[in-house]
Amino acid sequence: MEKTETQHQVHLESAIKLLTGDLQEEAGKAGIDNNLQRWIEDLKAAHNPEFHKLVTDLQALKALLNSGTYDGAQTGRLLHHLGTETARVAEHASGNTRTHVEKLSAALVAAAGQLQGGNTTPEEDLKNDSKSIDRQD
């Protein structure tokens, strides 16, 4: 069964809600894994090569959160990268979905700030984007 735009928006809202909560508390819960998997599936279903980096980063985030050893700094860097990449590809979304994607991007960057101390300058944000992130490409 093909997903509707409304279903995609519900998944995006679910991800936003998750990201605006206490990530350290949520990291150990099964719900975060399910949420990330739905997001990965939605991106894959779009068949857009521009989404490949997001998919691999989300898979890396799932692996990181399921590793049993929570690393807030590494998770924060990955969330920040996901936020900036999500903002970059938001142009591929249409209608109300685009608004949800833009909100998700902001929530990802804010969540990264929560894990990284929250008081970064734009220069530090750029530096964080260029740091190597442990992921499988």
Token couple for 105? 């991007």
Name the CA radius of gyration of the chain, rounded: 14
Backbone φ, ψ for residue 96 (5° rounding): -70, -25
Q: In sequence order, which ranges of 20-71 are alpha helices (DSSP H)?
A: 23-26, 30-45, 52-65
The identity of residue 119, as a single letter, is N
Report pLDDT for 69: 75
Is the pTM value of this prediction over 0.75?
no
Q: List the chain domain ranges.
A: 5-130
Report pLDDT for 71: 80
The identity of residue 36, as a single letter, is L
For 49, the enclosing helix (H) or strand (E) is none
Spatial separation of the C-alpha atoms in residues 26 and 111, rounded to whole Å: 12
pLDDT of the chain, 137 residues: tens digit per residue: 455 778 878 877 877 777 777 666 666 566 677 888 888 888 898 899 999 999 999 999 888 887 777 788 888 899 999 999 999 998 888 888 888 889 989 988 988 888 876 555 555 555 655 554 444 44
HEC readout, 15-30: HHHHHCCCHHHHCCCH
Collapsing DSSP to helix, strand or coil, 4 comes out as: coil
Report pLDDT for 127: 60
Residue 51 and residue 89 in contact, taking contact as beta carbons nearer than 8 Å: yes
